[in-house]
Structure 1
Amino acid sequence: MTTHEPIPSPAGQVDSIKIDNLLINFTTEFLRVWDTAGLRTKPAAFWHPTPAPDLLPGYFPLGDVAAVGHGNINGKRVVVVAREADTPSADPSKGKALRRPDDFELIWKDAGSRSKRDLSIWRPIPPEGYVALGSVCSNDHEKPSFNAVRCVRADLVIASATSEPAWNDKGSGARQSISAWHAVPPTAATGEIHLAPGTFVGFSGYTKPENFLVYSLRMQIPITVNPKPAAPLLCGEVPTQPEAPDQPTYIARLPWFTIKDPLLSPLEQLSGSPFYLLERTDQYLLVGHAHNTENESRTFRWVAPRAQRAGSLRSFTHNTSVEFGAQWQTNLPNPFLFSARLNHDFTQCEIHSNEWLNAVAIDVVAVVDKQKSVAIYLIQSDYRLLRTDGTPVTSGFSYTDGNSLHISQYVPEKPEVIVVPEQEPEAEMTIDTQATNDEPAAPLPEPELPTATDTAP
């Protein structure tokens, strides 16, 4: 079962993430709208995302970007863009994933400052049931185009906190004041990713209003589940090792921004490995076997080592940032602020579970009936993280499920005993010689035929 699937894109395009009828992708191309050159304020520039029509046809920005400094961010910064999927929502009552704003509300303009170029910053007013994820800039004092941004359906986002202000206009001399903020995603629920879009939200003044909400995108981690390995059967007195599985039992598909790749930069991940596969492969391993040749029950004992090692898991987390039994996140706005948490069924541990740190061997005791054989098995899960091209990101690690004990018993078949019935002795034949010589023997009486009876009711 796959909770949601990435949508394959034509050659040269990065696969999109599909959430219901919303497609999410990323752009590194921007148009500079305005910067603070000539103003006595903290250096900053405002940029409008411009997804390339040949690579991202039909994609819209969710807001503009505020960057500290005047340097060119093209090819260096990443921001979310979105478009409507070709297929409608699974729930027809929900409607489209994206809508254009109904109007814009002015937040700030540079009137009174010494800027050589005009700038105004606007808040999109979303239709009912939709939210705006970012503010929009205009290089004059007129409202932006309604095609400059799209609002997202409310069930596809989650309310978020805000970061420290990324920029404010203190010292600009403008008649109005403004501060720019980023969304900070909340703690992710199990099996989910909360992603800040990379846009900025402008507030009038330098203090954030208490009742103003900002949002992050909400998506689930897609999990593919394949059939679990069949429990092994003991078919003789000596067991054989179960066959290795030919496919992973679980596959979690993680977007590039959730992974710290030791060999690739974030932008190289976006272009070269937009998705990572975290695979879990379950298999039965033989713990021990016994053949009780005596005529009474016997007790047998084995010791099964656990595969989990705290050092292996810590090394994996250090190299990739992925946590087991807890959320993982980044505190850096570039490329994104996000929070993520794997499904508990996939990781085999609850939030506060310590089984992953338990390396104590497992004692197994079995009572074997007379003249019978048994084999004892446990399930071991092997994890590995792969790039899009199939290369491993770092060393894998394993986990032994102490609750997966499986016992298979073999009872030898008893040899089949063939019983031959005794034959009755043949009767001796007596010949009446007198009847033969003197006169014919009396004929035998004819057998009496049964009388027909009507048994019908």
Structure 2
Amino acid sequence: MKPLQFNDLLISFTSEFLPLWNDKGSSAHEAVGLWRPSMTSDALNPFYALGDIAVGHYRNINHSKIVAVVSDANKVDGTALRAPVDYQLVWHDEGTGARTNFSIWRPLAPEGYVTMGLVCGVGYDKPSRHAVRCVREDLVVTAQVGELIWNDKGSGSANDFSAWSVIPPGASPGEAYLAPGTFLGSDSYAKPSIETYALRLALTAQLSDLPPPPALTGPESPAVDDTTSTLQVCELPWFCVKDPELTAVEQSQSSPTYRLERTDRHLIAGFGHNTEATSQPFMWTATKGELGGHAKALAANTSVDLSKEWPVYPHALELNFSAHLDRDFTHTQRSAKGWSHASPLEIITYVPPNKAVAAYLVHSEYCLVRQDGSQVSGTVSYTNGDHIYMSESSDATPLPDEAPPEVEAPQAEPDLEVTGHDLIDNALTP
């Protein structure tokens, strides 16, 4: 699997783990199992864990859970990662009656770096400095404490302890934030106010300019499909997509990235041929916004939302994350209102004498595609009403049985007018 990259940080994933400890033998009210991500495969050399894994049960998590691991894109003198300078003891199980001795430690990061999870010790000894890596501050965002995983109530330990998950903040447009699957710890049972972090990824597509609308060569109405299409692509990491046909582990292996493809073309919204000797107004009514309601189906089936941040159902996905597509890619840089419904758009313009004019809107079709080319969910159709593109016939033709009009000083023509039923959302330009 090709790793994801953000600046000089590489992010990959593992579903293999080494068992470290569980609380069997203690009197704790709830179960807990502690595991360490394994990087023994050649593909994960040299990748590092960001912390150990805590789960609220005793079951084997190998090949059923998946977490992020990291490496430096510059293998020689990279600065994305650093080993911790030391560890601070958070909790040990002395007095619990558990079958084996156990301790939990907080890595202490070098200046300019942050820690993203706790690390387990062998017995009561400090972990190795090579067990985990700290991440440079500009490669992460501040996150939040999530749900309770486990606490030691009833265990008999002299010290209180609770373990918590990590929840990323809402993503900015064009970015995704990922909690790697590590856990936080506190010396009390209340939700802690601990500084914690999530990894950053970019979701910005490289947009290409749409070719100009077809040129009019005469007074005939252009063909409806006589336009050139342009493909825009935004790559999504697998964990952003809820694939109805694959498990999370299968996604990471068979489709580590998904392509959200946007195919743009000019859609004719009106055509007029002025056969009079003076400029004449023409008015057409087009439809803007989404057609068919497939955007809601896409969000429900895959979690991918074209008009706002996702996931729609946070607990339906394997890893805690947030994502937000670039607004230029989704046509929501001005308003997302058009995604919820289609609405009429009125276009008014003045056509010069003896000329033909065609008005075009940009029509986009979105589809989500796996790495093997198969499509996930249905195609979403959206007509952007923010801009009108005009094509005018190049040469004026004299009216039948009339001499060409005398050349006069040109007069200013009224600008193109575009109106709609939701005028506030139609701050449009010619």
Q: TM class, shorter-chain normalised?
A: 0.7 to 0.9
Given candidates 54, 68, 79, the residue that maps to 1:66 is: 54
Secondary structure at the aligned position of 2:94 is classed as coil
Specify whether residues 170 and 307 from structure 1 end up closer, same or farther in structure 2 by C-alpha distance, changes over 3 A only. Answer: closer
1:301-350 deviations in whole A, cap 9, x for unaligned?
32223361362221121111122332113533962111111111111115
- Pick which of 100-109 and 220-229 moved more: 220-229
Distance 2:116 2:130 in 1: 15
- 1:316 correspondence with 2:303: no
Percentage of matched positions with identical amino acids: 39
- Pick which of 370-379 and 299-308 moved more: 299-308
* TM-align CA RMSD: 2.2
- 1:15 correspondence with 2:32: no
Given candidates 27, 40, 51, the residue that maps to 1:52 is: 40
Distance 1:88 1:193 in 2: 28
Distance 1:235 1:123 in 2: 73
The residue that corresponds to 1:347 in the other structure is 330
The residue that corresponds to 1:33 in the other structure is 20
Given candidates 269, 287, 305, the residue that maps to 2:287 is: 305
Secondary structure at the aligned position of 1:167 is classed as strand
The residue that corresponds to 1:76 in the other structure is 64
Distance 2:334 2:350 in 1: 36
- 1:115 correspondence with 2:102: no
The residue that corresponds to 2:79 in the other structure is 96
- Pick which of 345-354 and 379-388 moved more: 345-354
Displacement after TM superposition at 1:405 (Å): 1.4
Give the AA of the match of 2:16. E
Given candidates 130, 151, 155, the residue that maps to 1:147 is: 130
Distance 2:110 2:181 in 1: 22
Contact 1:183 1:196 in 2 (8 A): yes
The residue that corresponds to 1:401 in the other structure is 384
Given candidates 381, 388, 396, the residue that maps to 2:371 is: 388
Contact 1:19 1:219 in 2 (8 A): yes
Secondary structure at the aligned position of 1:346 is classed as helix
Contact 2:165 2:182 in 1 (8 A): yes
Secondary structure at the aligned position of 2:293 is classed as helix
- 1:162 correspondence with 2:145: yes
Distance 1:208 1:272 in 2: 38
Give the AA of the match of 1:69. H
The residue that corresponds to 1:136 in the other structure is 119
Secondary structure at the aligned position of 2:376 is classed as coil
The residue that corresponds to 2:244 in the other structure is 262
Specify whether residues 44 and 109 from structure 1 end up closer, same or farther in structure 2 by C-alpha distance, changes over 3 A only. Answer: same
Residues 126-275 of structure 1 correspond to what in structure 2 (within 5 A)? Answer: 126-210=109-193, 212-241=194-223, 243-245=226-228, 247-248=230-231, 250-275=232-257
Distance 1:53 1:78 in 2: 15
Secondary structure at the aligned position of 1:271 is classed as helix
Distance 1:73 1:351 in 2: 45
Displacement after TM superposition at 1:205 (Å): 2.6
1:404-448 deviations in whole A, cap 9, x for unaligned?
212222144679xxxxxxxxxxxxxxxxxxxxxxxxxxxxxxxxx
Contact 1:35 1:45 in 2 (8 A): yes
- Pick which of 285-294 and 39-48 moved more: 285-294
Specify whether residues 191 and 259 from structure 1 end up closer, same or farther in structure 2 by C-alpha distance, changes over 3 A only. Answer: same
Q: How many residues align?
A: 395
Secondary structure at the aligned position of 1:77 is classed as coil
- 1:375 correspondence with 2:367: no
Distance 1:405 1:101 in 2: 57
Give the AA of the match of 1:194. Y
- Pick which of 167-176 and 57-66 moved more: 167-176
Contact 2:24 2:98 in 1 (8 A): yes
Contact 1:235 1:410 in 2 (8 A): yes
Given candidates 20, 31, 39, the residue that maps to 1:43 is: 31
Specify whether residues 189 and 412 from structure 1 end up closer, same or farther in structure 2 by C-alpha distance, changes over 3 A only. Answer: closer
Distance 1:63 1:134 in 2: 4
TM-score, scaled to structure 2: 0.86
1:86-121 deviations in whole A, cap 9, x for unaligned?
3789xxxxx601000000111111111211211111
The residue that corresponds to 1:10 in the other structure is none
The residue that corresponds to 2:262 in the other structure is 280
Residues 431-450 of structure 1 correspond to what in structure 2 (within 5 A)? Answer: none
Give the AA of the match of 2:364. S
Contact 1:21 1:87 in 2 (8 A): no
Secondary structure at the aligned position of 1:388 is classed as coil
Distance 1:365 1:353 in 2: 24
Instruction: Specify every segment of 5 or more residues in structure 2 that has no aligned partner in the other structure, as ranges.
Output: 399-430
Give the AA of the match of 2:269. V
Instruction: Specify every segment of 5 or more residues in structure 1 that has no aligned partner in the other structure, as ranges.
Output: 1-13, 90-94, 416-457
Give the AA of the match of 1:31. L
Displacement after TM superposition at 1:164 (Å): 2.7
Contact 1:193 1:219 in 2 (8 A): yes
